Amino acid sequence: MASWRDEFLAGVRNELPLLLGVVPLGMIYGVVALAAGLPPAAALAMSLIVFAGSAQVISTQLFGAGAPGPVIVLTTFVVNLRHMLYSASVAPRLKALHPAWKWALAYLLTDEAYAVVITSYDQSHPPQRNHRHWFFLGAGLALWTTWQLSTGAGVLLGAQLPASWALDFTLPLTFIALVVPPLKDRAGVAAALTAGMVALAGAGLPYKLGLLIAAISGILAGLWVESRQPARAGAVQPVSADAEP
Amino acid sequence: MSSWSVIVVMGVVTYAIRLSLIVLTGRVEVPDIVQRALRFVPPAVLTAIIFPELLRPGGSPQVLLVNARLVAGAVAALIAWRTRNLILTVAFGMAALWVLQTMFMSNG
């Protein structure tokens, strides 16, 4: 059985490829936050307090445009609403943990941490992993540390990575590497393709609403295809079968 | 509202969203349909992030074959499917993007 230290380090290791794409994003945020007129301390504090890349970048634009506080808060709410899906998705896996763990891991529940954690959780057999929450902590803290440092670098140095390196592209590439291999059944493929197409159609919508609508459409498509398939043993792996230690 | 108080409220809202169902799930019975739906959250959300990045880089639709990101993404998807290896997928995807970008730049 993997020790807590093994799990923690595995979480950090699995998060590493995503960090390459997070660094330029963090630096860009730092630069645009200052350009929007936020004091450097407030720009850094937002990374600590909010810790949500898209919402931070969008809100700095609203700050710069002099938008009223309630509008900025409401925008943040809508942009981050997709995290409620992540919260529902990881909840069964965290059910047996002490509340302090739940509160800590919820703070670290970002796009990038969720992608790595859920893929790892879904591929493993629970009995061998009594310390899985340490994996989550390792992945989350690796991302958190990188986000704070790259934000700081953006605030202090400005954007110094050449745009032609296109390092931001490593993020969608990592998501491809995480999403493609587990796609085995038709329902999963239907969920992915539907979400992708709807996201394209809705890409012009503000506040990442397109992403939220796309995710919900994909989930519904997956359920629909699954309900049309004859029940086969092993074809469906509901989350409920994933018992907690 | 000062920018500081806005930032604090933004943080509270974000944290409340992330914590919401993690805390509630132990207390309320989750319906079967919701449990089955959760299996589709990762492929749906991740693909919804990927597709616009490949097909609308920079925020506008691009013609298929001159879109270096789309071709590089297709290469990466093929590598991911065949090898199931994360590092290889990212490495080949980035290599494909750089090669295509260089070719387009020399053409243009």
State whether A45 and A110 are in the same domain: yes
pLDDT attached to residue A137:
97
State whether A9 and A128 are in the same domain: yes
User: Of A135, A166, A197, which residue sits at a domain end?
Assistant: A166
- Cβ-contact B48, A198 below 8 angstroms: yes
Query: Residue A86: is its pLDDT beyond 90?
Result: yes
Residue A168: closest CA among A5, A63, A27, A12: A27
State whether A156 and A196 are in the same domain: no
Looking at residues A6-32, what average pLDDT do you find? 91
pLDDT attached to residue A134:
96
Distance CA A12, CA A7 (A): 9
Dihedral over alpha carbons A55, A56, A62, A66 (to 10 degrees): 140
- Cβ-contact A244, B26 below 8 angstroms: no
- Region of A51 please: left (phi>0), alpha (psi -120 to 50) or beta: left
State whether A19 and A114 are in the same domain: yes
Question: Do the Cβ atoms of A50 and B14 come within 8 Å?
Answer: yes
Q: Å from A133 to nearest chain B CA?
A: 13
Mean pLDDT computed over every residue of chain B: 86
| Least confident stretch, A67-76, A190-199, B14-23 | A67-76
Chosen from B39, B75, B87 to mutate, greatest number of chain A CBs within 10 A: B39
What's the number of domains chain B is made of?
A: 2
State whether A94 and A145 are in the same domain: yes
Question: Considering only alpha carbons, which residue of chain A is nearest residue B29?
Answer: A92
Query: Residue B11: is its pLDDT beyond 60?
Result: yes
Number of A–B residue contacts, CB under 8 Å? 269
pLDDT attached to residue B21:
92
* Residue A239 is assigned to a structural domain of this protein: no
* Residue A150 is assigned to a structural domain of this protein: yes
- Cβ-contact A193, B47 below 8 angstroms: yes
B96 contact partners, CB below 8 Å, separation of at least 6: B68, B71, B72, B75, B76
pLDDT attached to residue A245:
41
pLDDT attached to residue A182:
86
Contacts of B34 in chain A (CB under 8 A): 88
pLDDT attached to residue A124:
67
Question: Considering only alpha carbons, which residue of chain B is nearest residue A201?
Answer: B52
- Residue A95 CB burial class (10 angstroms; 0-12, 13-18, ≥19): middle
* Residue A17 is assigned to a structural domain of this protein: yes
Of all residues in chain A, what percent carry a pLDDT higher than 90? 49
Looking at residues A139-166, what average pLDDT do you find? 88
What's the number of domains chain A is made of?
A: 2
Contacts of B101 in chain A (CB under 8 A): 164, 166
Distance CA A82, CA A74 (A): 14
In which domain, by residue range, is A193 found? 183-234
Question: Do the Cβ atoms of B40 and A214 come within 8 Å?
Answer: no
Mean pLDDT computed over every residue of chain A: 87
Question: Do the Cβ atoms of A50 and B7 come within 8 Å?
Answer: yes
State whether A156 and A59 are in the same domain: yes
Query: Residue B82: is its pLDDT beyond 70?
Result: yes
Q: What is the per-residue pLDDT across B16-54, written as a single tens digit (0 to 9) for each? A: 999 999 998 767 777 888 888 888 998 998 899 899 889
State whether B98 and B50 are in the same domain: yes
Question: Do the Cβ atoms of B25 and A88 come within 8 Å?
Answer: yes
* Candidate from B11, B34, B50 with C-beta closest to A176: B50
Query: Residue B64: is its pLDDT beyond 90?
Result: no
pLDDT attached to residue A67:
86
- Residue B53 CB burial class (10 angstroms; 0-12, 13-18, ≥19): buried
Tell me the torsion sign for CA atoms B71, B55, A86, A108: positive
User: Of A166, A195, A212, which residue sits at a domain end?
Assistant: A166
pLDDT confidence band for B65 (50 / 70 / 90): low
* Candidate from B11, B25, B44 with C-beta closest to A192: B44
Question: Do the Cβ atoms of A59 and B5 come within 8 Å?
Answer: no
Contacts of A116 in chain B (CB under 8 A): none
- Cβ-contact A19, A32 below 8 angstroms: no
In which domain, by residue range, is B75 found? 40-108
Q: Å from B10 to nearest chain A CA?
A: 5
Question: Considering only alpha carbons, which residue of chain A is nearest residue B52?
Answer: A200
Helices first, then strands: H and E counts in chain B: 5, 0
pLDDT confidence band for A243 (50 / 70 / 90): very low
Looking at residues A196-201, what average pLDDT do you find? 94
Q: Å from B65 to nearest chain A CA?
A: 17
Residue A221 or residue B25, greater confidence: A221
* Residue A119 is assigned to a structural domain of this protein: yes
B104 phi, psi to nearest 5 deg: -65, -40
Looking at residues B78-93, what average pLDDT do you find? 92
State whether B16 and B4 are in the same domain: yes
State whether B45 and B77 are in the same domain: yes
Q: What is the pTM of this model?
A: 0.80
pLDDT attached to residue A36:
86
Of all residues in chain B, what percent carry a pLDDT higher than 70? 86
Contacts of A25 in chain B (CB under 8 A): none
State whether A103 and A37 are in the same domain: yes
pLDDT confidence band for B105 (50 / 70 / 90): low
Question: Do the Cβ atoms of B22 and A94 come within 8 Å?
Answer: yes
Distance CA A186, CA A229 (A): 9
Looking at residues A203-214, what average pLDDT do you find? 83
State whether A154 and A42 are in the same domain: yes
pLDDT attached to residue A126:
58
Q: What is the per-residue pLDDT across A90-136, written as a single tens digit (0 to 9) for each? A: 998 898 899 999 999 999 999 999 999 998 887 766 556 778 899 99
Query: Residue A242: is its pLDDT beyond 80?
Result: no
* Residue A241 is assigned to a structural domain of this protein: no
Name the amino acid, one letter, at A12: V
pLDDT attached to residue B4:
93
Residue B103: closest CA among B72, B61, B75: B72
Name the amino acid, one letter, at A118: I
pLDDT attached to residue A241:
40
Q: Kindly state the DSSP code that residue A205 receives in the 8-state scheme.
A: S
State whether A94 and A132 are in the same domain: yes
Cα–Cα separations (whole angstroms), residue A121 to A28, A97, A116, A130, A152 = 32, 15, 9, 12, 32
What DSSP string describes A4-49?
HHHHHHHHHHHHHHHHHHHHHHHHHHHHHHHHTT--HHHHHHHHHH
Distance CA A237, CA A234 (A): 7
